[in-house]
Structure 1
Amino acid sequence: MKKDVDDYLQEGIYGARETKPAERKRFLGTLRERIVLALTKGQVMKNKGLEDLEREIKTNPKAKLLLNGNISYRFLKNYKAVADKHGMHHTTISNRETQTDIGAVLTYDHAIEKQQIFLEVAEEESTGETKQEDKGITGFLKEIFIGK
């Protein structure tokens, strides 16, 4: 495919065309097909997945770690320390214009097509949270005054 003058002008004005821009925005600039492990912001802030990340870093030493720069440094420092410990390159991606639920991504610069990239959430953890929400104000007051 040959580029014409309009293509060069468009590229000059708006920048190079990106494949799958929505996917890149969600996964901190990379594509899903390149990801080894993706952690949500909540998991990063609760230090969940740190051990899983370290295990994956050991298994994939040529990957790189992308961290969401919209998360406070105090939550990211342990992840940076693990990457540094294993000599892995890490980059903090700050894009104030984009909202994403992803906090950290271990990725390659080529496709690996891994099926399960998200951390498995323990079943009791998720059911415990919903049970707490389902109680409502009455259940909460009963728990305070009567006990469980």
Structure 2
Amino acid sequence: MADDLQQHLDNSLYGTPQLKPDEQRKYLGTFRERCYLQMTLAQMRNQALQDCLKTHVTDFEDAHCLMNNQVSDTLQADYIKILAAAAIPFTIVSSSQKSDDAIGLLLVASEAVDESIIDIAEKYPTNESKPTSEKKPSFWGKLFD
């Protein structure tokens, strides 16, 4: 009885304890294990990745979208049109993350899906998102060609 009373008092003073609060802050209020796909704020500005999302958003039929409120209004409107066309519900989440590598958009499930790769550039590589590396000919190769 005393433990229940102490727990009730602690919850009243400090709030209900959260499970993995840092992870929830990073992933816009949800857990990493529930994520299908993520886009950073910088990736959301990339037209090739926006088109990639447009083609693959229907792969996740039971998904819900979480969008960072730090995304510009015009960009939000573009992504809302994509989500509306695919009939994906969305929520704009208040976040203090403003850097380009902060998460801007997440497609999530209501329970754990444990996707190993959730970054859109890694999951669906495009020619524009991959760095191209040309091999330079060596000194001897230039000399004898």
TM-score when normalising by structure 1: 0.73
Distance in 1 (CA, whole Å) between partners of 2:65 and 2:83 is 7
CA contact (8 A) 2:34 2:108 kept: yes
Q: Which runs of 5+ in 1 are unaligned?
A: 128-148
Task: Name the structure 1 match of 2:105.
Answer: 104
Name 2:58's counterpart in structure 1.
58
Task: State, as a whole percentage, how many aligned pairs show the same letter.
Answer: 25
> What is the rounded CA distance, in whole Å, between the counterparts of 2:47 and 2:31 in structure 1?
24
Partner Cα distance (1:13, 1:71) in 2: 35
Q: Which of the two has higher C-alpha Rg? A: 2
Aligned residues: 122
Report if aligned partners of 1:36, 1:56 keep a CA contact under 8 Å in 2: no
Question: Can you list the C-alpha shifts for 1:31-63, whole angstroms capped at 9, x where unaligned?
Answer: 111100010111113345223323442111211
**Which deviations, in whole Å up to 9, do the C-alpha atoms of 1:91-146 show, x marking residues without a partner?**
000133x567101000011100000101224123xx7xxxxxxxxxxxxxxxxxxx
C-alpha separation between the residues in 2 aligned to 1:28 and 1:112?
17
Give yes or no for the alignment of 1:39 onto 2:47. no
Aligned partners of 1:36 and 1:107 also within 8 Å: yes
Structure 2: tracts of 5 or more residues without a match: 123-128, 134-145
Residue type at the aligned position of 1:65: C
C-alpha RMSD of the superposition: 2.0
Matched residues in 2 for 1:13 and 1:48: separation?
A: 49
CA contact (8 A) 1:35 1:108 kept: yes
Q: Deviations over 1:56-104 (max 9, x none)?
A: 42111211000000121112211111111111110000133x5671010
Q: Is 1:123 the counterpart of 2:135 in the alignment?
A: no
Q: 4+ residue stretches of structure 1 with deviation over 6 A?
A: none
The structure-2 alpha-carbon separation of the partners of 1:54 and 1:13, relative to structure 1 and needing over 3 Å to count, comes to farther
